[in-house]
A and B are shown apart, each in its own frame.
Chain A
Amino acid sequence: MDQRIVEQFRDAIGPEAVLTEPVQLVTYECDALPHLRSMPDVVLLPRSAADVQKIVRICDREGVPFVARGHGTGLSGGALPVAGGVVITLAKLNRVLEIDIPNRRVTVEPGVTNLEITRQVAPHGYYYAPDPSSQQVCSLGGNVAENSGGAHCLKYGFTVHHILAVEAVLPNGELVQIGSPLADAPGPDVLGLLVGSEGTLAVVTKVVVRILRKPESVQTLLAAFNSTSEAGAAVSEIIAAGIVPAAVEMMDAVAIEAAEAAVHPNFPPADTILIVELDGPSAEVAELFGIVEATCRNAGATRIEVAQDEAQRGRIWKGRKAAFAAMGRISPNYYVQDGVVPRTKLPEVMARIRQLAEREGIRIGNVFHAGDGNLHPLICYDERIEGQSALAERVAGEILIYCVEAGGSITGEHGVGADKKEFMPRMFSEDSLDVMQSVRDALDPKRLCNPGKVLPTPRLCGEVPGPYREHPIERAGLGERF
């Protein structure tokens, strides 16, 4: 990057907030999807919304692409840097600004972690509902970008249902307040558009979230089944009974093995386990829980464990939430996919996935939000074996196609990012994608705000999406990728 521009950044936010050394830049070349990598030219560490504004203004003026990053835990390459561009990390904007318990809202900077909000309001008996598995580290800014869900979104909805307002810097450098702590702000729901826009329309610098009263009672049950279809039938019965559990999670044998190895939740032996959690007023939970237990038993549960205390409940959830990363214990590499199918189509899609795994000779573990059909197939592979990375990627893509064919979606919560943009045409017509592009063009006409994400870009010569592959020249040590 032109040194003149780097100097502008240094003058604007201070030299210690501008990283240019390769040793520093390399650590930002990917988020939690490590097979997509790209070195940024500069990494910037603003400390305030004013800093962010200064940065974006410079980028706008000089035509520098920029990518916002929280704590880099995204699973779709949303924070993948753009060559020739900057990464704006919001990690230092990590203050909780205001806690308003009577009105059930908390104002935070985007670098505050999801779990930190709950920690802050827990002493008052409140919590922040969206709970992605990475909640101890993922940032609110990232949650807003991805419209993150989590296990409890079945009952409580996603991030977009819990955000009241944001402050953001638009790609032209303007600082705007979108949304309101008061209900019914007139006009189009631009906040609803921003949440889930994956950092392509603005850089969020402040978030006002809604907190909920901690439910009077929580009851968690773990049921072991001999097959996924039996477990699935149990879920259908529960929902048909008019019950909306707080969470319904399923893990298959491979995922159970990984979780056990990692965090020792002491799951009972099973082909598939079902975790059902009910929360709400004690009387309601007590009444409905009996129905849930009976339903599981009737569906063929071989063992049912009811968490007796908070510690046991914590153990069960720890096992579930560590499942992805825990795959690292039983496989050298793994690819976590994120797709959605209508709940009623789960058995058929699971069967297709099983056949796919057998056909390709690859191991696939499954963790999913059974209540809303959001699957997370965990595709195991070993990158040291020739062709395995490519195979894993291809299998992951095929699973997405099954999801779309079943009337589902290519992403339930991880986002499209860089990873899945080429699949967008399978879900949306060219016209629809074009209109989405025009939304982007309206707010970011220079195409600097996280370019190359969400919407498919025309292929440049030789540019192939997917895992980082060394060019033969690089392998021979004769050249470097810029």
Chain B
Amino acid sequence: MNCIIIDDEALARAIIRNHCVKADELEVLEEFSNAIAAIKYLNQNTVDLIFLDIHMPDFTGFDFIQTLKNPPKIVLTTSDRNFAIEAFEYDCIVDYLVKPVGLPRFLKAVQKAEQFKPITAKTAEPTAKTSDAEGNDLYVNIDRRLIKINFDSILIIEAKGDYILIKTEGKNYTVHSTLKKIEDKLPESKFLKIHRSYVINFHKIIDIEDNSVLIAKDVIPISRSNRPILMKRLNLL
């Protein structure tokens, strides 16, 4: 088996790396101090096993798992003795180790990983949204007129109480509706909800910095819960 180690703490990585040497046929391919670098690596490489720290700044271990289309076997590492049951909501998680990790417990986790077969073929993919979007346009009711808006012209849609503000490349429209209703009418391939108050046209992103995206001149916040879905959609180099 081969593996990678993801932990923001050098001490934790050193302990796991040292233990890996003691485990027969377990090769450490890479180590990462943050999850984003690991995602980039996994876009181009296949690994059998990941030792993954749950608590990392900005991007937790669980956020990381949700970005993986076909997650490999994962052994979680944590400083939390009373570890949350959330770990077992993912079929890819084999075991979890409490830091500092002793060698006997580590070897037991590796053995479990070798024998581990996921119960189902289920992945960490979130449930797919059923969109009834058809064609390239959306009609909105403004002052008793049905106005056609081309999907490609939409930049962002912002919730404003009982209204939504649709910002397009040429004009802005305020429509009496909810974000949920319009989200169901938009093609999934183009649009993404990144915050409870914002849906964005994914193809209009200029850049992403920390917890916000820049679209045209607007800086839109990314909520913590929506960040993994956004990261998963990015074609990271």
Same assembly: no
Interface on B for A, CB 8 Å cutoff? none
Residues of A within 8 A of B (CB): none
